[in-house]
A = this chain, B = another copy of it.
């Protein structure tokens, strides 16, 4: 591992400090470091130590990317590498994240192990989403956590139809629908009442948001299927009756508000690419869950 990129949480002096420490440490070990120019100037880093790049334009040729921040910064790191096959390592700034599991005070020690080859590389499912409009692809994206279809500001709810491959699953009315990877099952889907899916499972999770049919429970489906979402639209109730526009929004990994119209078809399937996450050898998926979800603490006793 010779070329190492660093993605840093924005406007966070602690993350800046950790970035500076890591960049200098890597430089002294003869590594080529690339960081965002904005961060570099904030921390006064010599261009000899680290090449500066915009955050979202990490150059080709990185052997790994270290993310310094929280799970939101990890998502930025995932976007920066796109479909390139670069593994990510997450460092948190005091508060454990599902993906930023290394505390900053163990950063250098962990990096030392990783550079010596003492790490475990995990591969996680990514999703490809296409939006088709009049048989033309108008949006195409790769997501790590979730694809969310949500009512917009003018709608009381949305109605959508789900099918998988050629099988019709259901038509439902709800505030929205979350299609999550196992990684995304501990993000927004959990708030909406979804279960936790271990990342080792090859499955996608469909969790409706505030469904009008109370039995529309979350359902996990095999990872090999292609999920199609369309909008029958006939009963779409619009708050402003003078406005005919259907109001549905698509959100990808918590970002990118894309407006959907009546005939749109959303196609979601497992990506051929996989998210590569580096872990310290002693890392434990369940230990992160226990700490983040306060498992072990009881009420009423």
Contact = CB atoms under 8 A, between A and B. Distances in A.
Contacts of A219: 195-198, 289
A211 B191 contact: yes
A169 B197 CA distance: 13
Contacts of A205: 195
Contacts of A71: 300-301
A215 B284 contact: no
A224 to B, nearest CB: 8
Interface stretch (A104-112, A115-123, A150-158): A150-158
A191 B170 contact: no
A182 to B, nearest CB: 8
A42 interface: no
A130 interface: no
- How many copies make up the complex? 4
A188 B287 CA distance: 27
Contacts of A62: none
B210 A209 contact: yes
A261 interface: no
Interface stretch (A13-21, A28-36, A291-299): A291-299
A239 B210 contact: no
Contact of A210 (B188, B198, B224, B296): B188
B239 A220 contact: no
A286 B237 CA distance: 27
Interface pairs A-B: 8 shortest CB-CB? A200-B222, A191-B210, A212-B298, A215-B293, A195-B218, A196-B219, A195-B195, A170-B295
